[in-house]
Every structure is written in C-alpha cells, then in structure tokens.
Amino acid sequence: MLNPNAPTSDTAPQDALLRPASERRDPIPMKIDAFKVACSSCNLRELCLPVGLSQPQLTQLDTLVGARKSVKRGDALFHTGDSFKSVYAVRTGFFKTRISSEDGRDQVTGFQMAGELLGLDGISTDRHACDAIALEDSQVCVIPYSQLEELSREFSDLQHQFHKIMSREIVRDHGVMLLLGSMRAEERLAAFLLNLTQRLHARGFSASALVLRMTREEIGSYLGLKLETVSRTFSKFQDEGLLEVKQRDIRITDEPGLKALVNSVRC
C-alpha cells in the first residue's frame, strides 16, 4: 500500500480530509460562498469543536467559523507574541507547537492533527505564547475568539465542549509531564507512538502503520531526548521486533509489546 496512513475500511469518515491538501477535493459547499466553512457538513465534526451540538446549533456555528486558511509546510500559523484574535481548528495537515526560552533552546509542546484546536494558549495574555508550525501543507478553520465566547454564552453545549477541549489539553500536558519527569527513553518513545496511532485510528487510519510527519529532532524535542537517542531507540525497537522502521514509515508489529513497555516499571 502506497499510503500506510490510508483509512481502514471499517471507520473511514473523512479520508479525503486527511490527505495532503493537493489531493483533496472539497465536497460541494452548502453555502454559496465557496470559501466559507460549514461545520455542519464537516467530516471532522465528531472530533472537533462541534461535538455534541444539535443541527440548529451547528448552523449557528457555521456563521462563526469565518474562513479557512492555508499554511505551507514549514510556515507558521502564528508566532509567539502575535496578537491573539482566533483559535484554529486543523482541517487538513499536521502542526507542531513549540516554545523557546531566552537562550534559544526550544521545546516542542505538541503535535496537532485534523480536528484539534490550536491557539488556546493565547487567551491568557491576548498574545500567542508559542509558535505553531505546519509540518506539511495544511489548512485550518479560523475561529474568531470573541465570537466563540459570544456564541458559547448562547449555547451551553458549545460552551461545555469548549471547556472540555481546554481541560483535555491540561490533562494531556500533565501526562507529558509524567512522561518527561519519570519515563526512560524507550517508554517515552513507545508512549509517543501509541498516542499517535490511537489518535490516527480515531480518524479512520490504521492503528498499526503510520508516516511520521516530524523529524527525529522534533520527536526528541517533544520527548526530552536528543535526536540520536530517538534514532537509536527506533533501531532498538526494530531489533526487538516491535516495529518496522523505514525512515519515517513506521509499522507496529507488536503492539502488546509496545504497550507493555509503557506500563512496566523498569525491564
């Protein structure tokens, strides 16, 4: 199979959306304005902000999500210090967020895929607190924040869903702290791969094969490891029969083995 991130047959609700933008063909828009986004007809609505909303609420939400924005691979959706106006929902593509310390070290704080929100850090100071960089040509839905607040005052379902998303980010961050604070390299990488595949699976992709959109260095930055350690750990996993690794193409050949790594203390 050419694309190992191809959707599995059982769950493939939005395959088209997860291919590179160049391959994608939009469904006929429900509105006349072809550049207008419609959450109500979006294949990601079960993963994104609209989760749990009724049809009339969705129609309202459509009025809020103003436009799509394309971001080329390597370009930033926003930078640290940019004034905060909107949050963004990833529609297609893949992002990383990173923060930098004064002395130039930086830390990747997350990888975002279709249906996930970017920019929540900006609410606290009205300025973005990280850089969001596209790891492949991507498209996001622009959600003007003041309008989101407004609409979520009207619809408690939307309000609650938004709070859930923020809370989920906090819980995720605490999980990463546990990983960074107490796991060894193998456990970190195993946890990372299982997290990625689990999220891809929720989007209709294979749970056992994936194409990494990020470099070893970016993985290392996220996991608090050097790129050489990431590379060596991949090789080790391959030697042990847990994975097949061909550069960025990964196939998980022993998922229970990987899971055991994450849950076990040492050895």
**Interface residues with DNA (CB under 7 A)?**
184-186, 212, 215-217, 220, 224-232, 234-235, 245, 247-248
Does residue 202 touch a second copy according to CB under 8 A? no
Instruction: Provide, rounded to whole angstroms, the least separation between the CB of residue 69 and DNA.
Output: 23
Instruction: Provide, rounded to whole angstroms, the least separation between the CB of residue 24 and DNA.
Output: 18
Coil, helix or strand for 211? Answer: strand
Pick the closer one to a second copy by CB: 55 or 263.
263
Instruction: Provide, rounded to whole angstroms, the least separation between the CB of residue 106 and a second copy.
Output: 8
Binds a second copy (CB under 8 A): choice among 54, 63, 167, 198:
167
**Residue 217 and residue 98 in contact, taking contact as beta carbons nearer than 8 Å:** no
Provide the phi-psi class of 236: left if phi over 0, else alpha when psi is between -120 and 50, else beta. Answer: alpha
- A 10 A CB-CB count for 64 gives 19
Residue 228 interacting entry, from DNA, a second copy, none, C-beta within 5 to 8 Å by type: DNA
**Sheet with strand 106-113: strands edge to edge:** 76-78, 131-134, 94-100, 106-113
Instruction: Provide, rounded to whole angstroms, the least separation between the CB of residue 185 and DNA.
Output: 3
Does residue 198 touch a second copy according to CB under 8 A? no
What is the rounded CA–CA span in Å between residue 159 and residue 148?
A: 9
Burial of residue 99, with CB atoms counted within 10 A of its CB: 0-12 exposed, 13-18 middle, 19 or more buried = middle
Three-state SS string over 29-53 comes to CCCCCCCCCCHHHCCCCCCCCCCCC
Does residue 166 touch a second copy according to CB under 8 A? yes
Residue 186 interacting entry, from a second copy, DNA, none, C-beta within 5 to 8 Å by type: DNA
Binds a second copy (CB under 8 A): choice among 5, 109, 229, 233:
109
Biggest alpha carbon–alpha carbon distance for the chain: 60
Instruction: Provide, rounded to whole angstroms, the least separation between the CB of residue 99 and DNA.
Output: 18
C-alpha distances in angstroms, 16 versus 24, 28, 46, 174? 6, 13, 15, 33
115-134 residues in contact with a second copy (CB under 8 A) are 120-125, 129-130
Instruction: Provide, rounded to whole angstroms, the least separation between the CB of residue 97 and a second copy.
Output: 8
Does residue 105 touch a second copy according to CB under 8 A? yes
Does residue 249 touch a second copy according to CB under 8 A? no
Tell me which H or E stretch contains 168. Answer: helix 156-182
Chain contacts with a second copy (rule: CB under 8 A): 97, 99, 101-107, 109, 120-125, 129-130, 149-150, 152-154, 156, 159-160, 163-171, 173-178, 180-182, 221-224, 263-265
